[in-house]
Every structure is written in structure tokens, then in C-alpha cells.
Chain A
């Protein structure tokens, strides 16, 4: 029986292997198949057997060539994963931080659109003053509202710092005047962090609303701890897989 068409089919099937493997072994494999056909008295079953062997071993070689447990791949994955987690941590921190701005921004915008004399604003300003440095306020999400004159001097508000209306750095007012609205983190003292949003009033003065960032900072710490644990676990898994991969490369496992 003419075995040339069968050998041509087998030669075609060898293209299923990764290029490097094919370049190295295709001639030998073809020679082996040729000798097999020379010995065989039943070529059809042999062809089926050769093709089946080719499909299975080609798949194995592709998996071996692309296995993610190679130390180089693992190092690249570890680096990529670290960058992804860092990006997630930074992005989440930004999202949390901006979330804290939402309430003061709404309040400042409402007051700037109406006026400090508006009944609801007047009621807010007339409410009992909250001490910004008190642990109770720092832990809360209660907003504060402060009104400043055009020169940046405090006029009224529902919050005090060490017994007086808080004074803000003058640069803040210049920026509010330039941008019409300004969001900033104000830290008058270690341990006191306030998210402030300022807006210009129709009178030329300023309204500044704020909220404690301490509760948010606690959320950052929890988030960073979770990210750090995930990172440490992933790096440990990579290290274990790298050791396993080294053993796999040393130990032939056909």
C-alpha cells in the first residue's frame, strides 16, 4: 500500500506542535512514522493512532510552552499583580476620599446658591456649635458650615476649633475665588483631618463646609490592610509555584 499520502497527512499534523518543538523534532518524528508504516501491515489503524498521539502530545507541548508556572512568567505576574493592587488601592482611596466631599459640597453649593440668610441655612448656622477637635465629632460624619467675609475672616458657623471659629489659611480663599469652588483636606493639628469644600457667596464672602476624615482614614487603613494581605498571599503563592515549577522543569513528566 502506498503510504505517502498518510505520511503527508502526518507531516501536516506535525504543524500542531509549537514551532520550536517542530523545528527540533519534526524530521525525526516523520522518520519514525515512516519506519512505523514500513513495519505495519494495517496502515489505517496506525494512522488513527499516530494522529491521536499527535493531538494529545501537541496539546501537552503547547501547555508546557505556555505554562504560567514558569518562574519568568511568575515574576512577570507578580510584578503585574503588584501594580494592579497598587492601582486598586490608590483608586479606592480616591473614591473613598471623594465620597467624603459629597455632603460638604452639596451643602456649600446650596448655601452659595441661596444665601446665609436663607431660613434653612440660618437654622444650620444657629445650631449648637460642634468642637472640631472633640473625639465625638471626629468620629462622626456630621457636616460643619462656616461663613467667611471677603477678607477671609470668620463670620459665623456651627463649628469651633479650641473654642473659636476656625481660621483658614488665606491661600484657600484666593483659590476659591479663582475656581469658584475648591475642595481640600485641612489638617489644623495632628489627628484632626477635615474634608473642606468652599464656594463663593453672592456677597463676595465665602462658605466653607466640611466633614471629618477620621472615619474615612479608618476605612483606608482597613482597605490597605486587605490589599496588603491579598498581595502577601499572592506573592507567597507565586513563590510556592516558582519552587514547584523549578522542580517540574528539573523532573521530566511526559
Chain B
């Protein structure tokens, strides 16, 4: 299905796994394993979850294959223009949520909450949104 006419906000809110994958690709193209390693800083993710999400993101036109490969078993993926817009829109949405939470006096935890994998920063940076 063509998604060229889809608005970035049509895709919101993103699931944590999708957000983590898009964020992993924000600074350049990566192959699946590199995406998974970076995404794990945000959420637990195995190869099945990763490639299932990649398949959906490709179908939705949020990411694309680069066509470049240094190993025939690996494919490299990059954000599409729509994917960049969706990532920006989701980041804005999350930042606004954080801002609202702070305005209501919600405190930032000093320890990583239960269930979040190791590697998560212990504190949430200040929102600049």
C-alpha cells in the first residue's frame, strides 16, 4: 500500500519498539544487529521482534533498505523522509508528555525502574520542547 500521502501524525503514537528502531536509525543507516543493540538501550528486543517491526516499518514506508551490503547476510536500513517526520512528531509528543508530567510534579526516578533493561540512563534529561 502506498503511504506517500500519509501524514506523520497518522502513525502516532508509536510503540516503544518502533520508536527505538527509528531512533537507532536517526544518525545513519544500520544493519539489523546494530539497530537491535542500540534499541536495547530503550527496550528489550530479540531478533523476532526486531525483524517483525522492520517488516512493518518497510511496509509503512518509514524506513527503506539502502541496497548497500558488506555481507550478503546483512541488509542496511535507513530512515525515509516520512520516517524522519514520524520520529520528530513522536519525539515532540513524548516531550510534551514529559513537560506535562513535570508540571504536575511527577518526580524523575533516580534508579532505573523494574523491567527496563540495563543500559537505560538513570535519569531522564530535561525536555527542550
Contact = CB atoms under 8 A, between A and B. Distances in A.
The answer to whether A and B belong to the same complex is: yes
A15 to B, nearest CB: 13
The B interface, classified by DSSP as helix, strand, loop or mixed, is helix
B101 interface: no
Interface string B30-65: 011100100000000011111111111101101000
Given A31-B73, A32-B32, A250 B48 contact: no
A52 B47 CA distance: 11
A254 B17 contact: yes
Interface in A8-55: 17, 21, 24-25, 27-33, 35-36, 49-50, 52-54
Contacts, number: 93
A61 B52 contact: yes
A136 interface: no
A254 B3 contact: no
A162 interface: no
15 contacts: A17-B48, A21-B51, A25-B51, A28-B31, A31-B32, A52-B46, A57-B48, A57-B51, A58-B48, A246-B1, A249-B60, A250-B3, A252-B60, A254-B49, A254-B53
Interface of B: 1, 3, 6, 10-11, 14-15, 17-18, 31-33, 36, 46-57, 59-60, 62, 71-75
Given A250-B1, A250-B11, A253-B15, A32 B50 contact: yes
B52 A57 contact: yes
Interface residues of A, number: 32
Contacts of A27: 72-73
Contacts of A58: 48
